[in-house]
Amino acid sequence: MDIYIDTADLDEIKQAAALGVLDGVTTNPSLVAREGVDFHTRLREICQVVSGPVSAEVVATDHDGMIAEAEPLIGIADNIVIKLPCIEEGVRACKTLSDRGVRVNMTLCFQPLQALMAAKAGAFLISPFVGRVDDVGGDGMEIIQQIRQIYDNYGYETKILTASIRHPQHLVQAALIGSDVATCPLKVIQQVMKHPLTDVGLKKFLADWHEAMAVLQKKEPALT
């Protein structure tokens, strides 16, 4: 499963990239607004750090507006993926761009039939938001399972990108179901490498090592 980071914070992206496990980046208007930076400039900076897919979202809600906004984004770098909403106009725009060979990430997906339509329109990625579904009492991971089965049933090549990840358990479940990609905040990426037994075990190994070295030094004859 590929791991993307969901942020527009350049420092966070560099931290994740330094781990050697980062495969791509997802952004959205809310994330960029928090940074207080120019959208296109930040995307260029991100693409200089990450060679994998970088999703850039439009804010228009009509087909022509989406295509017009996508044009300058496409020219930023070869790894830019245009991010469109899972609405009727978004599906139309997805088809238009996909027919041109432009990769599209269909976002704000909350039910499996949206994912089916996106795949039929040629989407590169579909982004179901599991955390937001959980927030309103639903089962976000069940949607990932349903989309996985639908895509496997008919051989769709659209990649499932599990989004709105809240905690490491979402990552575990996504990987077990067979999600192609998961995008998450830096804190979740960092959390997955932490376990109290790892810390206890490492502490014991180091203590034993230092004890063994101290005993060995006592046994060594003094140099004359």
| Catalytic positions, written as ranges | 83
DSSP state of 222: P
Q: What's at 12, amino acid-wise?
A: E
- Report the alpha-carbon distance of residue 56 to residue 43 in Å, rounded: 8
Report the amino acid identity of residue 46: I
Q: Up-side HSE of residue 93: CA atoms within 13 Å toward CB?
A: 28
Residues near 77 by beta carbon (within 8 Å), at least 6 away in sequence: 43, 44, 47, 54
Give the three-state DSSP class for 37. coil
Length of the chain: 224
Q: Which helix (H) or strand (E) holds 58?
A: none
Chain-centroid distance of CA 210 in Å reads 41
